[in-house]
Amino acid sequence: MEEKKVFFGQGNIRLEGLYANAGGAMGAVVSHPHPLMGGDMGNSIVETLAETLFTGGISTLRFNFRGVGKSTGTFDDGRGEQDDVLAAVSFMEEQGIREVLPAGYSFGAWVNAGILNRRSLLPALFVSPPINLFIFDFQTLRGKAGLIVCGDHDPYCPTERIKGVASELACRLDIIPEADHFFQSREDDLAACINDFAMQLRP
């Protein structure tokens, strides 16, 4: 996968990203974990998301939220970060992408969930949504989530609770055995789930 360094944004915010063009009309915006916990677009799970989706024929844009890396601005508790994701969606559309998949890991999944009622997008891909840490407005998200992936040892996304969430959202749920929030030694299993989902998205 060949990624090109890009900068984009809106207003006075300039965001740093890596864009990979797979051709075609489908693309994914990949959002990273919590900036105050060291999260950035170089996170290994973010890389796994981008690489696997690209292999599935989907263009990808992973980027740094405001205040991370070379992105300007400062952390905004998820509010401004939603605007960052929307700016990333607009960037993809400017590249000729007509169908955009929001794909987020941990904090990035929560931020992505917040934009699903603001833009018409493909059903989202949530990796380890931290439902025990952040409030998700699930009632408004039914039909707007495509896949949730988490480990059965994830304290921030407990198995029994996420099963109820997936049922409420009417979406697919993949639970990876012996995996925690960080998927240590389970990256291949995560990639297999993402790849299967990507294959279903492709026409």
Q: For residue 53, give the amino acid letter.
A: L
Give pLDDT, residue 10: 86
In contact, 57 and 22? CB cutoff 8 Å: yes
- Number of structural domains found in the chain: 1
How far are the Cα atoms of 64, 129, 147 from residue 69, in angstroms, in the given order? 6, 23, 29
State which residues of the chain have pLDDT below 50: none
Report the distance separating Cα 92 and Cα 113, nearest Å: 18
How far are the Cα atoms of 8, 35, 152 from residue 161, in angstroms, in the given order? 37, 25, 11
Give pLDDT, residue 139: 86
How much is the mean pLDDT over the chain?
96
**pTM (2 decimals)?**
0.97
Give pLDDT, residue 203: 67
Q: What is the CATH number of the domain that holds 197?
A: 3.40.50.1820
Report the distance separating Cα 26 and Cα 35, nearest Å: 27
122-179 pLDDT, tens digit each: 999 999 999 999 999 988 999 999 999 999 999 999 999 999 999 999 999 999 999 9
- Give residue 185's domain range: 4-201
